[in-house]
Structure 1
Amino acid sequence: MRTKSIYIVLSNTFSWTTRVIGLYTRAPYNHVSIALDEHLHEMYSFGRLYPEWALPGGFVQEKQREGTFARYKNTICAIYRLPVSEQQYTAIRATIAEFQKEQSNYNFNLIGFAGLAAGMPIERRYAYFCSQFVATVLTRAGIRLVDKPPGLVKPSDFLDCQQLTLIYEGKLADYEAPSLAT
């Protein structure tokens, strides 16, 4: 059986928002994205719609050197590879396509984020926070990295997943995917 890879990207922009979240979590990374390629050209999450403002938030395609990550040039990250079957990869891509199709309907799940802090999952249609989104996409593809409902998954939960292989840790702007030279 052929396998493909997806990438889990944990990050910390050091914005005032992530600093406040960090006071609560004490975690090195407080944001998570899912990327469909090692070059991070197809990287998705729930986050800032506008780099200057923490809210409003929603479904976003993130760019390594544009938008929020360009605004916060000292963003640090940990990039993990996750091998998946072709069927799982197709399911992940299809789920993300559903989010893209309905992008304007999605909002940041601020109520669910409060529920996460209280230990109570709050699921809302068309509303997610970053780790809830990543966990949901993976769950729909039959992948369960964290033994919690998506509404209780924190970015730091991905740090302990044995299925993930760390491929890079450092400044996001400095990351270069391996060359495909033949």
Structure 2
Amino acid sequence: MQKYYLYVVLTSPNTAISKLIKLFKNDNYTHASLSLDKSLHNMYSFSRKKAYNPFIGIFKHEEFDKGIFRFHRDLPGRIMQVEVSKEQYENAVKLLDKFTANSEMYKYNYKGFLYILLNKEILSDERFLCSEFVYYILNESYIVDLNISRNLVRPENLLDIESEIVYEGNLKEMYPVTSMRS
């Protein structure tokens, strides 16, 4: 019988927003992504549209040699393999396809970022934080329920998901980027 998996990727990029989260919440991981495959070629999240501009965030396909990840020689992270049923996997793929097909309508939830720091609930159908997006896909696909408002889910909360840790450490060592090397 074929097994199906989704991959939750937690990272700690060296950005001002990441430092702010660490200061207020004392979290180790400050960014979350979701991948359909172990190679992380199909990895998605909400993050900066342009690496140098933290004020415009969008839904996007992420890669370790592009965006904010490109500037890191060391990228602390954890890759969690979540076993799912075929139906749950297909539900997650359909939701991701919806986000991809309508990517221009989705934006980063800046108000939600402030509310998460204040521990206040606010929901939008078109605005997401990175961890809110990952949780939304997992929750709407009937994979996990953390019993918390989706906008209050931080990357650290995703550590509570039943999973197998397939890697923890410097993601740049597991996924080396040749253009970064001197």
TM-score normalised by the chain length of structure 2? 0.91
Q: Distance in 1 between matches of 2:4 and 2:66?
A: 26
Q: Deviation per CA, 1:89-126, whole angstroms, max 9, x where unpaired? A: 11101101101111111111111122222222211131
Q: Distance in 1 between matches of 2:57 and 2:101?
A: 17
Could you tell me how far 1:147 is from its partner in structure 2?
A: 2.1
Closer, same or farther: CA 51–43 of 1 in aligned 2, 3 Å:
same
Q: Which moved more, 1:58-67 or 1:130-139?
A: 58-67
Task: Check if 1:167 corresponds to 2:166.
Answer: yes
Could you tell me how far 1:159 is from its partner in structure 2?
A: 1.7
Alignment of 1:52-63 (within 5 A): 52-63=52-63
User: Which residue of the partner structure matches residue 51 of structure 1?
Assistant: 51
TM-score normalised by the chain length of structure 1? 0.91
Q: Distance in 2 between matches of 1:87 and 1:77?
A: 28
Identity in percent:
28
Q: Where does the alignment leave 5 or more consecutive residues of structure 2 unmatched?
A: 176-182
| SS in structure 2 at match of 1:88 | helix
* Contact kept? 1:145, 1:158, Cα under 8 Å: no
Task: Check if 1:13 corresponds to 2:13.
Answer: yes
Could you tell me how far 1:17 is from its partner in structure 2?
A: 2.1
Q: CA RMSD in A?
A: 1.4
Could you tell me how far 1:151 is from its partner in structure 2?
A: 1.4
Could you tell me how far 1:72 is from its partner in structure 2?
A: 2.3
* Contact kept? 2:25, 2:117, Cα under 8 Å: no
Q: Deviation per CA, 1:2-46, whole angstroms, max 9, x where unpaired? A: 430110000011122211221111111101100100000000011
Alignment of 1:58-77 (within 5 A): 58-77=58-77
Alignment of 1:1-182 (within 5 A): 2-161=2-161, 163-175=162-174
Q: Which moved more, 1:79-88 or 1:59-68?
A: 59-68
Closer, same or farther: CA 171–6 of 1 in aligned 2, 3 Å:
same
Could you tell me how far 1:145 is from its partner in structure 2?
A: 4.5
Q: Where does the alignment leave 5 or more consecutive residues of structure 1 unmatched?
A: 177-182
Q: Distance in 2 between matches of 1:45 and 1:80?
A: 15
Counterpart of 1:69, as a letter, is F
Aligned length: 175
Could you tell me how far 1:66 is from its partner in structure 2?
A: 2.2
Q: Distance in 2 between matches of 1:35 and 1:3?
A: 16
